[in-house]
């Protein structure tokens, strides 16, 4: 499948302090995001996720390596196909939600009349139709996040980059955000999510890359890295020890080496395993 984002051996250094000591934010990072998938860019704080996103958006320049979006280097043309929701977005408080979304749609190259219609549609999608004429200064954090998402998708981008989309959202808001992201995928868009909410990421992502201290610690399809293709997971409510024994005995009769354990591996378990392993290195 065609790659929308191709990151190849990306390295980025920052100068820190008065003496300008070089700090490595990304070290030979490589991964690819395929068209139409939901991709999770994960990692603990300081792993280099935001740096990678900023390089993808052309806000930072890498020291070495390559970043291609839609097969091209980042530029005006590629930027018009990207929608971006920053972490904890801070918008002009004096604008109404509709003015904000229209403004960003126009900044992405839409005409005023088209931008107005798109703004209304995007706000409706984000569940903000009722308060589209209210100034953003009166919005809660969760509402700002929704307005930010509306601004990110109003110009109908092919690639949507969401930096911590669940930040500041209550459980209902998170559920709505998950539905919105799945709707984006259903409409053929590629979505890159940068998040700490592993449970939500696990539910919606097709592939993930886990960054740790500027390096890729794991990358691949979620089913593959969690071993879902080589193992089967059977969920049983109220299992008893007698049940476990009976299932194992009957599997042995069919020649299967079955080990029944309570619970199951999750992305959170996998993430913690990877991070603790790296720390131990």
Partner 1 sequence: MTKIFLIAKNSAREAFRQKLVSLILAAAVALTLFSMWAMKLDLGHEQLKFTANFTAGALGFFGAVVSVVLTCRLFYSEIENRTAATLLARPVSRFQFVAGKLAGVAAMLAIFALAVLLAGAIPLFLTRQKLGLLPDEMFLGGRPDLKWAGYAVFGFLQYVKLVAIAAMACLVCAASRSMVFAIIASFMVCAAAVVSCSEFFSGGGFLLNAALYIVPDFDIFENSIGFIFGGVNWAQFFAAFFYGVIYIFAFLILSVWAFASREI
Q: Are strands 82-85 and 159-163 parallel, antiparallel or unpaired?
A: parallel
Q: Which stretch binds partner 1 (CB under 8 A): 106-114, 124-132, 204-212, 244-252?
A: 106-114
CA distances from 21 to 11, 15, 17 (A): 16, 5, 7
82 binding partner 1? (CB under 8 A): yes
108 binding partner 1? (CB under 8 A): yes
Out of 9, 22, 109, 246, the only residue in the binding site for partner 1 (CB under 8 A) is 109
Site for partner 1 in 218-257 (CB under 8 A): none
Q: C-beta of 153: minimal distance to partner 1 in Å?
A: 13
Out of 8, 22, 61, 183, the only residue in the binding site for partner 1 (CB under 8 A) is 61
> Which of 83/267 has CB closer to partner 1?
83
Cross-sheet strand order for the sheet of 82-85: 82-85, 159-163, 190-194, 38-42, 207-212, 215-221
> Which of 106/190 has CB closer to partner 1?
106
Q: C-beta of 90: minimal distance to partner 1 in Å?
A: 4
13 binding partner 1? (CB under 8 A): no
Residue 271 CB: number of other CB atoms within 10 A? 22
> Which of 21/258 has CB closer to partner 1?
21
Strand partners, 89: none
E-state strands within the chain = 3-16, 21-34, 38-42, 64-69, 72-73, 82-85, 159-163, 190-194, 207-212, 215-221
- Positions that interact with partner 1 (CB under 8 A): 54, 57-61, 76-77, 79-80, 82, 84, 86, 89-92, 94-95, 103-104, 106-109, 151
């Amino acid at each position: 499948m065609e790659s929308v984002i191709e990151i190849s051996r990306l390295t980025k250094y920052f100068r820190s302090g008065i003496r300008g000591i070089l700090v490595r934010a990304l070290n030979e990072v490589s991964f690819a995001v395929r068209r139409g998938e939901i991709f999770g860019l994960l990692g603990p704080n300081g792993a280099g996720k935001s740096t990678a996103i900023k390089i993808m958006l052309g806000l930072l320049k890498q020291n070495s390596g390559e970043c291609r979006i839609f097969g091209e280097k980042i530029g005006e043309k590629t930027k018009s196909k990207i929608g971006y929701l920053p972490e904890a977005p801070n918008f002009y408080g004096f604008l109404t939600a509709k003015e904000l979304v229209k403004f960003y749609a126009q900044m992405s190259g839409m005409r005023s009349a088209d931008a107005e219609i798109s703004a209304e549609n995007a706000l409706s999608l984000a569940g903000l139709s009722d308060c589209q004429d209210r100034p953003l200064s009166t919005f809660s954090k969760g509402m700002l996040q929704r307005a930010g998402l509306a601004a990110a998708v109003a110009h109908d981008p092919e690639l949507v980059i969401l930096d911590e989309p669940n930040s500041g959202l209550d459980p209902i808001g998170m559920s709505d955000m998950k539905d919105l992201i799945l709707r984006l995928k259903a409409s053929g868009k590629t979505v890159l999510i940068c998040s700490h909410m592993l449970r939500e990421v696990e539910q919606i992502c097709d592939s993930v890359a886990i960054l740790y201290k500027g390096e890729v610690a794991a990358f691949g399809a979620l089913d593959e890295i969690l071993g879902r293709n080589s193992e089967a997971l059977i969920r049983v409510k109220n299992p008893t020890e007698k049940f476990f024994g009976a299932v194992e005995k009957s599997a042995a009769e069919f020649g299967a080496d079955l080990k029944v354990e309570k619970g199951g591996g999750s992305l959170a378990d996998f993430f913690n395993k990877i991070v603790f392993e790296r720390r131990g290195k």
